[in-house]
A and B are shown apart, each in its own frame.
Chain A
């Protein structure tokens, strides 16, 4: 591994480098022009747009870089795009968030943190070596701990960061221990290598299972899957809305990408050939599939059932995002490229609808200083546009046509049925019916119930509305014309080595 290879590899991670550069610049800008918050926002956005542009260049690249540490492949690129898009949206959102702007003295650090989270996640999706996974996970993690505590003066924000820290550090520690066990079993940390060793069948069942479950603890915490989700509601509620939104989309996406790659590459049994094209089998004796089935069912069910009881919209959305993770996990259990593709499609639509709903919640709490569901009464009258938008986002989260959310679920169930997992599919749809109830509770309060006395209309600035529409339009458009999206996702399941 000599220098020119390294340099050549560096060109492959240009997007990440751009973002790193941007965050340094933002930090410096913060030092020199502390007052000019606008500038830093613009800097970040420009950097991110650059990164996005470079990413589009990488769509067709499929190489393993840095001596197998990092994979640059359509799969990674797809998720990087999702992450960068989310980051851009969040950066713009932050511009309108009162609680962020209140911290104008440290606004530079804020953008710095968001960007470094972005970097960490971008590396996460590509990393194909356990130690890389751990490092990138921690990079994303550490920054999120700090970011969720960004509004330091607020008690709940601080508490959120502490809980996130302790829980995260613990989970990643357990994960690390699992990694060490796998290292002990296979003598390597490179996931492809691990797979090679496992294929020789030397690995002992129980140790391997224990190790993989330790890994799942780490992943599960990242994607907030039951029973490793406990931090989620508290942190989501405590953290600034923008950060919550970011965590619920980007961080989840990164976690999923990492998990999917890890399991596919590590545990696939390439010797089994008599399967339908596009599907695969796991190495005999590795019960990861069953584990994930159990986890996903628990996740969606618990997420939905507890969400029924939430009165804080932010917290409600936290639980809803747990449930959503449950649906996405269903895409993994079918063990097929189309299952993965379904998850990826889901993430794209999830990006729009979830960010959208958090954005609206943020705007509203800016004005009415409350996230309690009862304070949403009569919003339909006070601010029609926002209410309708939120309603559409929530309906999309429920998964009703003609919104994009339906397509996400549709793809998932499509692959489940194709894999003849009817029972699981039934559980899934029943869950989506239950979920309807709490989503509709919000809608009901906005439209069906009026406030005791009408407290005037709420207006929002044009930029705010534009950002809203740019999230709303895709949510509707993708619901009817998902041709390219699905095609792109199905192209992007391509990983290094597969």
Chain B
């Protein structure tokens, strides 16, 4: 599967378009505010178009995951090639991009969310030039993570995304922004250095025949790492179910868990969300969190199937904890954003649970839940942003009766809220249902316990709904105006996606399905032990 534009692969386009935009933005004088805004918007819009193109051309029947042949839109160039000493062997790093059913939806999501983030940043005034430059850089980082198949490249993008995020929270954030920003930075870095070590260990354990020279060389190629045959005998991570393999898996897992975030590494999330400006919260919840789970699917599971199976139950248990714990914490919040932040923790727990099920429904459910949570939570944060822009408070108890005052706003809000609750006909329902259905087959009681989360979710969501939108309007908010066109333009597309996927989930499912099967079969197959509860 090839798709080139101006003889440059589409994935490269997708990844580096924002950088182009960034460069232009940097070249523009900082007085040209609207020019800067439009440039950013344009570059992200083109990105969205390309994403649609990709989505259309994507071959649903190819599995990907661990077979390079069925990866799509591949771009493989040699990037680093060092004729090194015999101890290191030839150091070869490839610029290797490609998508499969796991990454395709994420690419799509990233494009859309970034575009919407740009729109929602329209009213940023503080040093807007830097803001959009960083936003676009962040976009590239995220996109790169999802499309790169070379571990080194993956890691580079993974880290590239940190710094912009730090600044975006730290400079344009709320009162405690410094604290939130550094907390986010330290946490994620801590995770990623563990990732780095695991990556290096893998590098020296895996070697493949170099197509050029025909000699055996070490490689950062993830797909090669997934093939047990490529592990050199006697290397650190050789064999199956060895001590070091478990250690490496746990290291990688922590690296990703911090991003998800999985209890108890989640405490950065509420702070970051609350302090970050709306657009950044949207990106955080919409895309960044998915990187953790994506990483688990793309890296941790297929490369360490044995360890993955070995730690399946703990993983599921963490998922359960996330769901219930997040829900309870959300219930007690007074701050609108914090509430949604904790609801994210809860919803990502469902993803974890679905993944841990290690069967088709669970995996598909998890993937779909990743996408849906991305869209739904994005909507929720935008909704908070809309009201915050007007009222400059996020206290749940300061509001009430907005339903009458802002009908249009309330309409969108109702959709978002019920999607979050998991109402049939809206996207959230399908993914949650599948995650639970899948998980139930692997972990009976744990899933029953987790499924109780749907009741709690309904509880805090409706409570919020009531506190903010029902009841009578306090006098001080008589001045509030209804949602405006710009805000609608960013909310409506998401709403459409939410409804469309709710009614006809196949739109996404058939993209994910084959890969999900491949992944599950591969992980289970390469270990062969059946998982019970």
Count A/B pairs, Cβ under 8 Å: 106
Which stretch of B163-171, B283-291, B516-524 is in the interface?
B163-171
Closest B residue, CB atoms, query A444:
B178
B495 proximal to A (CB < 8 A): no
CB B88 to nearest CB in A, in angstroms, measures 5
Known contacts A337-B85, A341-B85, A400-B162; is-contact A413 B156 (Cβ 8 Å): no
A437 and B186 form a contact (CB under 8 A): yes
B84 and A487 form a contact (CB under 8 A): yes
Known contacts A336-B87, A401-B156, A426-B197; is-contact A433 B81 (Cβ 8 Å): no
List residues of chain A with CB within 8 A of the CB of B159. Answer: 400-402, 406
B470 proximal to A (CB < 8 A): no
B83 proximal to A (CB < 8 A): yes
A281 proximal to B (CB < 8 A): no
List residues of chain A with CB within 8 A of the CB of B197. Answer: 413, 417, 422, 425-426, 429
Cβ proximity bits A150-185 to B, threshold 8 Å, 1 near / 0 not: 000000000000000000000000000000000000
B181 proximal to A (CB < 8 A): yes
B456 proximal to A (CB < 8 A): no
A-B contact pairs, 28 of them (CB 8 A): A276-B87, A277-B85, A277-B86, A278-B88, A337-B87, A338-B87, A338-B88, A395-B163, A400-B159, A400-B163, A400-B189, A401-B159, A406-B159, A413-B200, A418-B200, A420-B236, A426-B197, A433-B186, A433-B189, A433-B190, A436-B189, A437-B186, A444-B178, A448-B181, A481-B80, A483-B82, A486-B82, A487-B82
A357 to B81, CA, bound (A): 30
Closest B residue, CB atoms, query A392:
B163
Among B140-155, those with CB < 8 Å from A are 155
CB A489 to nearest CB in B, in angstroms, measures 10
List residues of chain B with CB within 8 A of the CB of A486. Answer: 82, 84, 91
List residues of chain A with CB within 8 A of the CB of B82. Answer: 483, 486-487, 490
CB B138 to nearest CB in A, in angstroms, measures 14
CB A473 to nearest CB in B, in angstroms, measures 15
B201 and A422 form a contact (CB under 8 A): yes
B20 proximal to A (CB < 8 A): no
Cβ proximity bits B166-203 to A, threshold 8 Å, 1 near / 0 not: 11001100000110011001100110011011001101
Interface size (B, Cβ < 8 Å)?
38
Closest A residue, CB atoms, query B78:
A483
B87 and A401 form a contact (CB under 8 A): no
Among A425-462, those with CB < 8 Å from B are 425-426, 429-430, 432-433, 436-437, 440, 444, 447-449
A209 proximal to B (CB < 8 A): no
A308 to B509, CA, bound (A): 50
A477 proximal to B (CB < 8 A): no
A406 to B236, CA, bound (A): 23
A482 and B185 form a contact (CB under 8 A): no
List residues of chain A with CB within 8 A of the CB of B166. Answer: 440
Closest A residue, CB atoms, query B177:
A448
A234 to B128, CA, bound (A): 41
A303 to B156, CA, bound (A): 27
Closest B residue, CB atoms, query A493:
B85
A402 and B83 form a contact (CB under 8 A): no
CB B197 to nearest CB in A, in angstroms, measures 6
CB B490 to nearest CB in A, in angstroms, measures 27
Cβ proximity bits B77-116 to A, threshold 8 Å, 1 near / 0 not: 0001111111110010000000000000000000000000
CB A448 to nearest CB in B, in angstroms, measures 5
List residues of chain A with CB within 8 A of the CB of B87. Answer: 276-279, 336-338, 418
List residues of chain A with CB within 8 A of the CB of B181. Answer: 444, 448
Interface size (A, Cβ < 8 Å)?
42
Known contacts A447-B170, A482-B80; is-contact A429 B88 (Cβ 8 Å): no
Cβ proximity bits A404-424 to B, threshold 8 Å, 1 near / 0 not: 001000100111011010100
B178 and A448 form a contact (CB under 8 A): yes
B310 proximal to A (CB < 8 A): no
CB B89 to nearest CB in A, in angstroms, measures 9
Q: Looking at the complex, which one of A417, A430, A449 makes contact with B193 (CB distance below 8 Å)?
A: A430
Name the 10 nearest CB pairs between A and B, nearest first. Answer: A278-B87, A429-B193, A277-B86, A417-B200, A278-B85, A448-B170, A401-B156, A401-B159, A486-B82, A487-B82
A337 to B86, CA, bound (A): 10
B124 proximal to A (CB < 8 A): no
List residues of chain B with CB within 8 A of the CB of A444. Answer: 170, 178, 181-182
Known contacts A278-B86, A417-B201, A429-B197; is-contact A401 B155 (Cβ 8 Å): yes
List residues of chain B with CB within 8 A of the CB of A395. Answer: 163
A390 to B81, CA, bound (A): 30
CB B105 to nearest CB in A, in angstroms, measures 26
B204 proximal to A (CB < 8 A): yes
Q: Looking at the complex, which one of B160, B178, B185 makes contact with A402 (CB distance below 8 Å)?
A: B160
B182 and A437 form a contact (CB under 8 A): yes
Cβ proximity bits B261-286 to A, threshold 8 Å, 1 near / 0 not: 00000000000000000000000000
Closest B residue, CB atoms, query A449:
B178
List residues of chain A with CB within 8 A of the CB of B163. Answer: 395, 400
Q: Looking at the complex, which one of A400, A447, A483, A490 makes contact with B80 (CB distance below 8 Å)?
A: A483
Known contacts A338-B84, A487-B84; is-contact A432 B156 (Cβ 8 Å): no
A490 and B85 form a contact (CB under 8 A): yes
List residues of chain B with CB within 8 A of the CB of A278. Answer: 85-88
List residues of chain B with CB within 8 A of the CB of A429. Answer: 193-194, 196-197
List residues of chain B with CB within 8 A of the CB of A402. Answer: 156, 159-160
Q: Looking at the complex, which one of B91, B162, B171, B189 makes contact with A447 (CB distance below 8 Å)?
A: B171
CB B255 to nearest CB in A, in angstroms, measures 11
A61 to B417, CA, bound (A): 74
CB B265 to nearest CB in A, in angstroms, measures 14
A288 to B201, CA, bound (A): 26
A277 to B85, CA, bound (A): 8
CB B175 to nearest CB in A, in angstroms, measures 12
Knowing that A402-B160, A430-B193 touch, tell me 15 more A-B residue pairs with CB under 8 angstroms. Answer: A276-B86, A338-B88, A400-B159, A401-B155, A401-B160, A417-B203, A418-B87, A418-B200, A433-B193, A437-B186, A440-B185, A447-B171, A448-B171, A481-B80, A490-B82
